[in-house]
Chain A
Amino acid sequence: MILQYHTSEIIIFTENFLDNLLRGLVIEYFSVVRPDAAHPANATPADQETQTRLIAIPSQLPSSNLTTSQPSSSSPSMIRFILLQNRQGKTRLAKYYVPLEDSEKHKVEYEVHRLVVNRDPKFTNFVEFRTHKVIYRRYAGLFFSICVDITDNELVYLECIHLFVEILDHFFSNVCELDLVFNFHKVYLILDEFILAGELQETSKKAIIERMGELEKLD
């Protein structure tokens, strides 16, 4: 006679799932691969269905709040946020185009800084960040980071950063970090002329500088 260890009666679920199941005392389903199925390969459609359902049980996914709750199915390819940080991680400018809690913003700023600050300058200017991608570029002691969709055109955002820096440089004539600290409100104003609603608004440096000149006169 032979005894063979065979897991004919197996409950296919994970402890996580069990927890969920038990916590609410939802006594409804778990899937049992029946021993009367002559061979495990013959899993009935019902079994497969239960399995898929199990997969659909929401587990604790890492928060991806960067995706706005969109009514439309496709996620917009927009800029999620722009960060300007120095090497020590002090944020000099932070513009979010998706709503985040303050605590979440601080976490994002901290994480992005950690991601970019130690990268070899020879490496790509792109790092994957949660479910998105951060395009960053370092100018002296300042890191300019733009967070976009994973499928977006990285190279063009690199150009965006450069154009923004050129505008700042032109506006403050030889910009340095202190200019940005003391005139943070102006930096925001420039950014609002350059990018709106997470999309590019103006691609001409001259146009933005002229516009800033007009706005300065009004103050």
Chain B
Amino acid sequence: MALNPFSSGTRLRDMIRAIRASKTAAEERAVVRRECAAIRTAISERGQEELRHRNMAKLMFIHMLGYPTHFGQMECLKLIAAAGYPEKRIGYLGLMLLLDERQEVLMLVTNSLKQDLNHSNPFIVGLALCALGNICSAEMARDLAPEVEKLLRSRDVNTKKKAALCSVRIVRKVPDLAENFMGLAASLLKEKHHGVLISAVQLCTELCKASKDALEYLRKNCIEGLVRILRDVSNSSYAPEYDVAGISDPFLHIRVLKLMRMLGQGDADCSEYMNDILAQVATKTESNKNAGNAILYECVETIMGIEATSGLRVLAINILGRFLSNRDNNIRYVALNILMRAITVDTQAVQRHRVTILECVKDADASIRKRALELVFLLVNDTNVKPLTKELVDYLDVADPDFKEDLTAKICSITEKFSQEKLWYLDQMLKVLSLAGNHVKDDVWHALIVVISNASELQGYAVRSLYTALQAYSEQGSLLRVAVWCIGEYGEMLVNNVGMLEAEPPITVTESDAVDAVELGFNRYSADVTTRSMCLVALLKLSSRFPSMSERIKQIVAQNKENMVLELQQRSIEFGSIIQRHQSIRSSLLERMPVLDEAAYLVKRASATQATIPAYKPASGVTPGDLKLPNGVAKPAAAPLVDLLDLSSDDAPVTSTSATTTPNDFLQDLLGIGGTNLSTAGVPSASTDILMDLLSIGPSPSQNGLLDLISPAQEQKPVSAVPQVVSLVPEPMDLLGSLSSSASSSGTKSSTVVPQAADLLDGLSASTSVSGLDDACPSITAFQSATLKIVFDLRKQLGKPQETTIHATFTNLTSTTYTDFIFQAAVPKFIQLRLDPASGNVVPASGKGSVTQGFNVTNSQHGQKPLAMRIRMSYKVNGEDRLEQGLVSNFPPGL
């Protein structure tokens, strides 16, 4: 007793006191450091065995405070190997605290454990079982399973229950061992002692999970035992030892019910056998205390899980109804939780509690709200969608800001999924945008625009309501975007009250009001580049809708000629020149967009959401999120593109109809511009501008809109078509200033260009000079930005049509040398690619020399699919990392 390290006055207590007395963290660290040093010395010096377990106890305390204590691990093992119970006790405790199953040191303890499991002292056996149950590894489980099996037959209840739980761990680690334990586990269910029973039940549950054979065996052998246990425990008279709030051993109740669920699942006979006792538990259990509710909860779960009779199911759903109206938040929470699972079993029954569930959405507790919202979402169907949505939208107004996002997402997906009439959908979306426009995801408002574009009879109503809403809720980002888009497209409907609906109040909006609204939107401090770009496009469109406003719009647009954001600056210059210099074509240029293809959008969106799931957050560059909107409002660069593209529809109404129906062949249309251009000499300037504007969009930062756009051209039409068009440009000088790089990249992309030719006009002339492709060695400019240019020299090998050897030349267009230059490429899976090492990783400045790299591509679908390649260049400028990416799809046909 004198050696007891824990009696008062010994040093563990002193150490804890000293640590607690420390006033600062530094002081505490000093105490700990001193203690650790002392313990280390004690460990290294022999002959202090009697202090060992005291030191170990101290070390555990230090460990709990978060200090490293690895040096004590071996001491644990020594203590476990000691003879006495006190040493072993501290040793095993240290083992469980300081070590876990992943440490190799643990293997050293296997032998000691084995000896202790066979020890004559049941307390020591208990210690060993406890340690094994808490930290054993798979290897130890295999080694020591026979010992544990033997202990399951022990006569001591403490040993038996510990051995049973130890087996749980063993079976978890090594499921193959399940068969060894199933007989013993079933026989343990005949015991009387609750500790043994509950351990045995848990072991059986684990066995069912681990092995099908064990599940079958237990179905046959222990279902009667379980029913008997449950009956005994629920019918037993007051037993003070196990009583919790008037219920005898709720823990055992619950474990048995859980095991019954495992056994009854998918087995009608077993389920049949349990029906009576489940009904009894469900009806007789008191539900005014937590313990009783816990049993009812488990009971309901079991009834839902097994092949229960319909009467029993009704009973279960009714219990849930009671739970839902309970005052206690905990109970309501679990009720929502199970209802969610019950909905697959019995939707009608759950529907009955709709009102209550809806109330829970408005609860103050976030845990409850979250569950309830998910449940409501599952409950919505065609008949109840309107009242439910109304409730949710009404609540949106007062909801917590951090809950709004979830709520908005759910409302949007409900309205989209179940909207039967467009007007209703429009109204709901309008409310959502007004109340929580800043929480609306991009694809939601994209979809709204697609719908508006398709509903010609509602466009007037939409633009007017959006305008009205914008006056009241101008701070909502996506409301602003949609409104601005609609005002741009349908501005005249706003002003003239075109297409009034019956119940719609007329509003008076002047042309100047409409422009005001867009201008305000543009100048909002919270507006981002996308919104501002959309505003600019809308203004441009309005300049043609309202000729009287044209001068004012010009001024607004002109204000941004020096905008810091390149995108806006560029637009502003381009749009300014459209308004000012090209009035003849302006109206046709700024016609309304063609109707967006709804079906195509939905498909895109579906695949996009699928693909973005693992991506966590859609990135801006090439994500599907940006691609799914055919109308192009998705990304800033694309918006003007579309507008410029749709201008063509009025040039030739005949083709426009065919083009809208088959969106895929816009390419021909693109090329068609060139064609008509040639024939209709009357409006050469029109196509010039079109083309230039088109081209200008290409290389906007990080985007490849144009490349994407033009790329299919190469598959269907002679490559020379594009440069041909470019060569027709008579006087593009005014635009060239801002556009030179873009024009050159797209203009020359399908032509052979000398790598050094950075000058635009050189590029153009070069391109025009190319009439056909040299089969032996054509070159393409695979990529060009303001900083970097890549030229591919292509070579075919005789007799191997699939294979192409590419020689890439990288040229630095800036005045700073690039270091650590790495070129990477990815190709579709029908293409194989082999990269050779590059000639160097330093690209000298200003095009004075270049780096080359060869690679080989094999197109396994030669003749059917063209080559395509995505490339990425990473390099350092003055030690700063840079990254550029691009899509190469301008390979000559036939590769």
Contacts and interface: CB of A to CB of B under 8 A. Distances in A.
Interface of A: 1-18, 21-22, 25, 27-32, 34-35, 38-41, 43, 50-51, 54-57, 59, 68, 70-72, 74, 76-77, 91, 94, 96-97, 99-100, 102, 106, 120, 122-128, 153-156, 158-160, 163, 181-185, 188-189, 192, 196-197, 199-207, 211, 214-215, 218-219
A71 B174 contact: yes
B622 A15 contact: yes
Contacts of B613: 55
A2 B649 contact: yes
A215 B175 CA distance: 33
A219 B795 CA distance: 86
Contacts of A39: 599-600, 664
Given A159-B290, A204-B242, 11 more contacts: A3-B673, A8-B712, A14-B619, A30-B829, A43-B603, A72-B210, A156-B250, A159-B251, A181-B16, A189-B89, A201-B195
Contacts of A188: 93, 96-97
A6 B666 contact: yes
A103 to B, nearest CB: 10
A151 B537 CA distance: 52
B364 A120 contact: yes
A44 B513 CA distance: 50
B514 to A, nearest CB: 25
B206 A76 contact: yes
Contacts of B388: none
B273 interface: no
B174 A14 contact: no
A155 B297 contact: yes
5 contacts: A2-B666, A12-B608, A71-B174, A153-B254, A185-B60
B599 to A, nearest CB: 6
B195 A55 contact: no
A127 B367 contact: yes
Contacts of A215: 89, 123
A1 B659 contact: yes
Contacts of B329: 122-124
B655 A16 contact: no
Contacts of A184: 60-61, 64
Question: Which secondary structure dominates chain B's binding surface?
Answer: helix
A180 B20 CA distance: 13
A134 to B, nearest CB: 11
Interface string B604-645: 100110111111101101111001101110000010011011
B65 to A, nearest CB: 9
Given A51-B610, A120-B364, A197-B169, A5 B656 contact: no
Interface in B211-269: 240-242, 244, 249-252, 254-255, 258
Contacts of A9: 708, 711-712, 868, 889
B293 to A, nearest CB: 6
A41 B600 contact: yes
Contact of A203 (B195, B209, B832, B833): B195
B263 to A, nearest CB: 15
A12 B607 contact: yes
B249 A123 contact: no
Which 10 residue pairs spanning A and B have beta carbons closest together?
A29-B829, A155-B294, A14-B615, A2-B659, A3-B645, A99-B100, A15-B619, A197-B133, A1-B672, A2-B656
Contacts of A29: 828-829
A115 B130 CA distance: 31
Interface residues of B, number: 148
A206 B242 CA distance: 9
Interface stretch (B426-434, B490-498, B768-776, B819-827): B819-827
A42 to B, nearest CB: 9
A203 B712 CA distance: 72
B744 to A, nearest CB: 22
B166 A155 contact: no
A7 B175 CA distance: 51
Contacts, number: 333
Contact of B622 (A3, A11, A70): A11
B57 A185 contact: yes
B313 interface: no
Contacts of B258: 77, 153
Contact of A218 (B123, B138, B368, B621): B123
B271 interface: no
Contacts of A219: 4, 6, 85-86, 89
A4 B646 CA distance: 6
A191 to B, nearest CB: 10
Interface string B648-677: 110110011001101110100110110110
Interface in B839-876: 865, 868, 870, 872
A90 to B, nearest CB: 9
Contacts of B162: 196, 201
A41 B630 CA distance: 14
Contacts of A72: 172, 175, 209-210
Contacts of A211: 158
Nearest to A119: B365
B655 to A, nearest CB: 4
Nearest to B642: A5
A182 B242 CA distance: 30
A29 B833 CA distance: 10
B46 interface: no
B35 interface: no
Contacts of B134: 97, 192, 196-197
B870 A11 contact: yes
B408 to A, nearest CB: 21
A89 to B, nearest CB: 11
B202 interface: yes
Given A1-B651, A8-B664, A160-B251, A197 B614 contact: no
B611 A12 contact: yes
A185 B6 contact: yes
A32 B868 contact: yes
B569 interface: no
Question: Which among B101, B297, B664 has the highest number of chain A CB atoms within 10 Å?
Answer: B664
A204 B364 contact: no
B622 A13 contact: yes
B127 to A, nearest CB: 9
B13 interface: yes
B334 A123 contact: no
B708 A218 contact: no
A61 to B, nearest CB: 9
A159 to B, nearest CB: 5
A156 B61 CA distance: 31
Question: Which among B162, B198, B615 has the highest number of chain A CB atoms within 10 Å?
Answer: B615
A4 B711 contact: no
B835 interface: yes
Contacts of B97: 188
A30 to B, nearest CB: 6
A29 B663 CA distance: 27
Nearest to A199: B202
Contacts of A106: 66
Contacts of A55: 610-611, 613-614
B134 to A, nearest CB: 6
B715 A192 contact: no
B330 interface: yes
B102 interface: yes
A219 to B, nearest CB: 5
Contacts of A16: 614-616, 619
A35 B632 contact: no
Contacts of B826: 18, 21-22, 27, 30
Interface in B802-829: 824-829
Nearest to B239: A204
Nearest to A7: B627
Contact of B660 (A2, A57, A71): A2
